[in-house]
Structure 1
Amino acid sequence: MDNASYQAGQTKGQAQEKGNQLMEKAGNAAQSAKESVQEAGQQVQAKAQGAVDSVKDAVNSNK
């Protein structure tokens, strides 16, 4: 009986470890996605700022 209890404990420990690894991977994936979205947002912002600057330059050069 003791051996069965020991093996059950081992199995439970391995399952918990596996679960922790999966949660960590999911967390890393979420963090990567968040960073990608932030990066894309910054690129869009930079392009929009560039467009605004271009319009300002065009308007100022016409004066």
Structure 2
Amino acid sequence: MSNNMSAGEAYGKAEAKAENAVGAVKDTANQAADKAADAADMNEGQAQLRKEEATGILQQTGEQVASIAQGAYEGVKNTLGVGENQKN
């Protein structure tokens, strides 16, 4: 039974880390949006450039967080023996 509790704990911890990562991305998005709003005070060309840069950074960050979260999820599944490679 303690193995099930350990498995549940591992899954819960991985899920919490993934949620924290998503929260960090949302915080980064809000900060980027604030910077974009500040950039609106600049001339139009500079503001557009800053907006595009912020968008690119957010997209890269989101992709990295998604990849990290997916890796953590797959690791937990494999640890618990429920991954695709464990079905045999």
Aligned length: 44
Identity of aligned residues (%): 16
Alignment of 1:1-63 (within 5 A): 1-43=1-43
Gaps of 5+ in 1: 45-63
Residue of structure 1 in register with 2:77 after alignment: none
Match of 1:54 in 2: none
Taking structure 2 as the reference length, the TM-score comes to 0.47
The answer to which structure has the higher helix fraction is 1
Mapped to 2, the partners of 1:19 and 1:41 lie a distance apart of 34
Aligned to 1:50: none
CA distance in 1, matches of 2:22, 2:11: 16
Superposed CA deviations along residues 2-56 of structure 1, whole A, max 9, x for unmatched, are: 1100000000000110010000000000000000000112337xxxxxxxxxxxx
User: Considering only aligned residues, what root-mean-square deviation do their CA atoms show, in Å?
Assistant: 1.2
Q: Tell me, which stretches of 5 or more residues in structure 2 are unaligned?
A: 45-88
Query: Looking at CA atoms only, which structure, 1 or 2, has the larger radius of gyration?
Result: 1
